[in-house]
């Protein structure tokens, strides 16, 4: 296999304090990977300026002028971390063999990159960076993060435990990932949907080198909510379950109120009122649940995700199947 061209994708939002320090670290990591012949000299560090309001873009432009290994793109406005990473990945997918996405604040251990590239060379197309511990997190962050992963998995979404967005992805995977056209994206839950051979590598997560986090509790909750609603329609199915349960209770309620009426334990008009309330309550919730089931299906349809992805074909496949266009997307053998 030829030495791969690596693009390191780094989203940056108002990072003027951090960039001058971490850009040097990224560059020396890239150079050491090149000198070890793990990656090609055409490899690049691609900064994605996510509509910063400070001098971040100026710093990126200066870095690009000083060293050809630094390149940058700038989004027209702030679109959030997930979109910034996506923009970088889509820009890189046709010009490199592998990408590694990483935050620019020095929190993720860059030394894990060696292992990621080695795993790729051994045959993995996705290498998920997984935090070895959450020592630097507060108890609250650790507890909420762990509950979130458990909740997502119980709702049927496949997410790698303790993996954020530090990950190696081959351009082969990215070509297929580009067919996931949805707008509400939650990258760490979407890559497992693409498939292909994947593995994990552990890394340590440190404190931020400088500046402050752009993920306050409000944004974290929004990301968690996005993750659940973009990957699962189970909350909608849950309404059907609740509806069925409430309807059964209502049925019992109707019978009970009639018995009360017959045994003369009620005042006039009470039983008929209770019957109507129980009946309508049950019917309404059940109907909303059924609507939810259809909305869930429409939701999955409008995403227009690929229905299947073919990862390999036998070498003689193209010669024997010359009739018409092949279905689905093909992937070159590595």
Q: Is 126 one of the binding residues for ligand UDP (CB under 6 A)?
A: no
* Tokens found for residue 210: 């400088």
* Tokens found for residue 321: 């199947």
Stretch that binds ligand UDP, among 104-112, 152-160, 185-193, 287-295 (CB under 6 A): 104-112
Q: Is 124 one of the binding residues for ligand UDP (CB under 6 A)?
A: no
- What would you report as the CA-atom Rg of the chain, rounded to the nearest whole angstrom? 26
- Residue 43 DSSP SS3: coil
Query: Taking Cα atoms as reference points, which of 234, 179, 224, 235 lies closest to residue 82?
Result: 224
Rounded to whole angstroms, the Cα distance separating 193 from 248 reads: 38
Residue of 22, 23, 43, 107 interacting with ligand UDP (CB under 6 A): 107
Interface with ligand UDP (CB under 6 A), residue total 16
Task: Give min distance, CB of 117 to ligand UDP, in A.
Answer: 21
Is 253 within 8 Å of 274 (Cβ atoms)? Answer: yes
> From Mg ion, ligand UDP, none, which one binds at residue 84 (CB under 5 to 8 Å depending on kind)?
ligand UDP
Residue of 29, 44, 81, 172 interacting with ligand UDP (CB under 6 A): 81
Rounded to whole angstroms, the Cα distance separating 234 from 292 reads: 10
Rounded to whole angstroms, the Cα distance separating 73 from 50 reads: 9
Question: Based on CB atoms, which residue is closest to ligand UDP, 104 or 278?
Answer: 104
Q: Is 108 one of the binding residues for ligand UDP (CB under 6 A)?
A: no
Task: Give min distance, CB of 102 to Mg ion, in A.
Answer: 10
Q: Is 107 one of the binding residues for Mg ion (CB under 5 A)?
A: yes
Task: Give min distance, CB of 104 to ligand UDP, in A.
Answer: 4
Stretch that binds Mg ion, among 37-45, 61-69, 75-83, 101-109 (CB under 5 A): 101-109
Residue 225 vs residues 156, 168, 216, 222, 230: alpha-carbon distances, Å = 15, 25, 14, 5, 8
Q: Is 230 one of the binding residues for ligand UDP (CB under 6 A)?
A: no
Residue of 80, 227, 253, 282 interacting with ligand UDP (CB under 6 A): 80
Residue of 134, 142, 197, 214 interacting with ligand UDP (CB under 6 A): 214
Q: Is 82 one of the binding residues for Mg ion (CB under 5 A)?
A: no
Sequence-distant (6+) residues with CB within 8 A of 229 are: 184, 235
Q: Is 50 one of the binding residues for Mg ion (CB under 5 A)?
A: no
Is 200 within 8 Å of 130 (Cβ atoms)? Answer: yes
């Amino acid at each position: 296999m030829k030495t791969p061209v690596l693009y390191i994708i780094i989203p940056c939002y108002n990072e003027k304090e951090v960039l001058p320090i971490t850009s040097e670290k990224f560059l020396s990591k890239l150079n050491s990977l090149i000198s070890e012949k793990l990656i090609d000299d055409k490899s690049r560090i691609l900064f994605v300026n996510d509509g910063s309001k400070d001098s971040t873009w100026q710093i990126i432009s200066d870095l690009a002028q000083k060293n050809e290994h630094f390149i940058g793109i700038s989004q027209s406005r702030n679109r959030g971390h997930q979109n910034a990473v996506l923009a970088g990945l889509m820009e890189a997918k046709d010009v490199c063999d592998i990408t590694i996405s990483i935050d620019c604040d020095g929190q993720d251990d860059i030394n894990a990159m060696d292992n990621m590239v080695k795993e790729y060379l051994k045959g993995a197309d996705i290498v998920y960076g997984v935090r070895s511990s959450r020592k630097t997190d507060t108890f609250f962050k650790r507890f909420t993060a762990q509950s979130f992963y458990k909740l997502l998995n119980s709702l049927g979404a496949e997410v790698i435990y303790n993996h954020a967005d530090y990950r190696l992805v081959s351009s082969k995977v990215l070509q297929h990932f580009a067919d996931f056209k949805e707008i509400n994206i939650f990258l760490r839950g979407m890559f497992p949907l693409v498939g292909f051979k994947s593995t994990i590598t552990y890394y340590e997560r440190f404190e931020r080198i400088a500046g402050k986090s752009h993920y306050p509790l409000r944004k974290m909750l929004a990301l968690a909510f996005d993750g659940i609603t973009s990957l699962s329609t189970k909350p909608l199915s849950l309404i059907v379950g609740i509806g069925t349960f409430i309807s059964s209770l209502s049925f019992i309620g109707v019978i009970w109120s009639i018995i009360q009426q017959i045994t003369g334990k009620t005042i006039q008009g009470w039983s008929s009122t209770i019957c109507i309330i129980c009946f309508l309550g049950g019917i309404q919730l059940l109907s909303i649940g059924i609507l939810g089931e259809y909305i869930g299906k429409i939701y999955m349809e409008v995403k227009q995700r690929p229905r299947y992805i073919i990862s390999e074909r036998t070498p003689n496949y193209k010669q024997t199947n010359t009739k018409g266009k092949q279905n689905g997307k093909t992937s070159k053998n590595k």
